[in-house]
Amino acid sequence: MPNAMEAVRAVRGSRVQAISFKGDPLPENIRARFDTIKGRPFQATALRALLLWVHENGGEYLVEVKAENVSGGVELIVEVRQRRKINDLRFEGNVSVPEASLDPVVEMKEGTEFERDAAESAVQKLNVYYSKQGYLATEISYAFDPKAGLLRFLIKEGQPTLLHNFGISPLTSVERKDLRARYERELRAAFGLELGDRIQRDRVLEGIQRIKDWLRDHDFLMARDPVLEYKVDEQGNVGLFLNIDYGPRIRFGFRGNTQYSYRELMIFVGEIKEVSSGNDYLSAVRRRILEAYKEMGLANAQINTLVREDP
């Protein structure tokens, strides 16, 4: 109420030449009340009394009044937003997923005010939830009836998306065919999804993490993060392909190390291996070993590195 009055205080005494309404429609009896001040000199007390009456008799409406100077006086702009209460919330079309599982996802409840942004956000959350259950083709929308206060989420689940084929970038950097074949089998096993399995978002992400762990454990420490590609054929079958830039396989040998044994130096390497990978990996290892030598008082220690592929 005070905000509405502040908006028109500067035009006190001007004649109200016009009144326009924006937003949701007001009932005729409330609009008629505003028409009573049209053509009259503007009076703050009259507008205050009118807004109080609207508050008492049209509590489901939020009304804000602004004023603009026009020829011969002012125009009052009445912006209206109807409070929309959710009296009934329903899910329609959900066959595989029970309503009890969907209720906490939408974070909207009966008895609260309907907000469009919240409903659109709920649709996005439902889509993510269904994708986690392996339904990648689900279509979801909402419909709200303000008179009945009925909010419906309309769901077309479709069929669960099953893994039809799966591929991983070949390990061409490993020259031995038997070792390469074994590693590729292990990579597939690490991913964890078999043909015919439902493609669930969480399982896919967990599989990618296991692939990254396998690469680190097998010394592919400069490999880039795997990129997952979805492939859909003409029949609608869905396949996955993991595009991996393996980089060289890194193993360590040391020369000229008299203060630390090979085992001790590999402990330093292991510390970095747990927290770093990719292009910065070798630099991080070198910094850690130099730090160890400096801690012994050998501030002038130097390290030269030679990288070669070792399948």
Domain locations in the chain as residue ranges: 2-82, 88-156, 163-243, 250-311
Nearest CA among 173, 13, 152 for reference residue 91:
152
Dist. CA 8–CA 74, nearest whole Å:
9
Report CA 306 to chain centroid distance, whole Å. Answer: 43
Cite the DSSP H helix spans in the chain: 2-8, 28-35, 44-57, 99-106, 116-132, 177-191, 201-217, 262-273, 281-295
Instruction: Kindly tell me if the per-residue pLDDT of 120 is higher than 60.
Output: yes
The predicted-structure confidence for 273-304, as pLDDT tens digits, reads as follows: 666 555 566 777 778 878 888 888 887 777 77
Distances (CA, A) of 169 to 180, 230, 247: 12, 14, 12
With 0-12 / 13-18 / 19 or more C-beta atoms within 10 angstroms meaning exposed / middle / buried, residue 250 is buried
Average pLDDT, the chain: 83
Kindly indicate the confidence band of residue 311, based on its pLDDT and cuts at 50, 70 and 90: very low
Tell me the mean pLDDT in the region 127-144.
90
Angle between helices 116-132 and 99-106 (to 10 degrees): 130
Range with the largest mean pLDDT of 6-10, 140-144, 171-175: 140-144
pLDDT value at residue 308 = 57
Q: Looking at the domain covering 88-156, what would its CATH class be?
A: alpha beta
Amino acid at 293: Y
Does residue 171 contact residue 153 with C-beta atoms inside 8 Å?
Answer: no
With 0-12 / 13-18 / 19 or more C-beta atoms within 10 angstroms meaning exposed / middle / buried, residue 207 is buried
Q: Which residues lie across from 232 on neighbouring strands? A: 238
Tell me the mean pLDDT in the region 217-236.
82
With 0-12 / 13-18 / 19 or more C-beta atoms within 10 angstroms meaning exposed / middle / buried, residue 293 is middle
Q: Which residue has the higher pLDDT, 253 or 72?
A: 72
CATH annotation of 163-243: 3.10.20.310
pLDDT value at residue 189 = 93
The predicted-structure confidence for 68-107, as pLDDT tens digits, reads as follows: 888 888 888 888 887 788 999 999 999 989 999 999 999 9
Range with the largest mean pLDDT of 59-63, 64-68, 105-109, 232-236: 105-109
CATH annotation of 2-82: 3.10.20.310
Task: Quote the percentage of the chain above a pLDDT of 90.
Answer: 25
Instruction: Kindly tell me if the per-residue pLDDT of 257 is higher than 80.
Output: no
Amino acid at 202: D
Across the beta sheet with 227-232, the strand order is 163-168, 238-243, 227-232
Tallying the residues shown for the chain, one arrives at 311
Q: Over the Cα atoms of the chain, what is R_g?
A: 34
Amino acid at 107: E
Indicate whether this model's pTM tops 0.75.
Answer: no
Lowest mean per-residue pLDDT among 168-172, 177-181, 249-253, 281-285: 249-253
Instruction: Kindly tell me if the per-residue pLDDT of 309 is higher than 60.
Output: no
Q: Which residue has the higher pLDDT, 169 or 302?
A: 169
pLDDT value at residue 2 = 45
Residue 70 CB: number of other CB atoms within 10 A?
A: 13
Dist. CA 96–CA 103, nearest whole Å:
14
Distances (CA, A) of 157 to 154, 195, 209, 236, 255: 10, 22, 28, 16, 62
Kindly indicate the confidence band of residue 238, based on its pLDDT and cuts at 50, 70 and 90: confident
Residues 6+ apart with CB under 8 A from 270: none
Q: Which residue has the higher pLDDT, 200 or 60?
A: 200
Residue with tokens 């040391």: 254
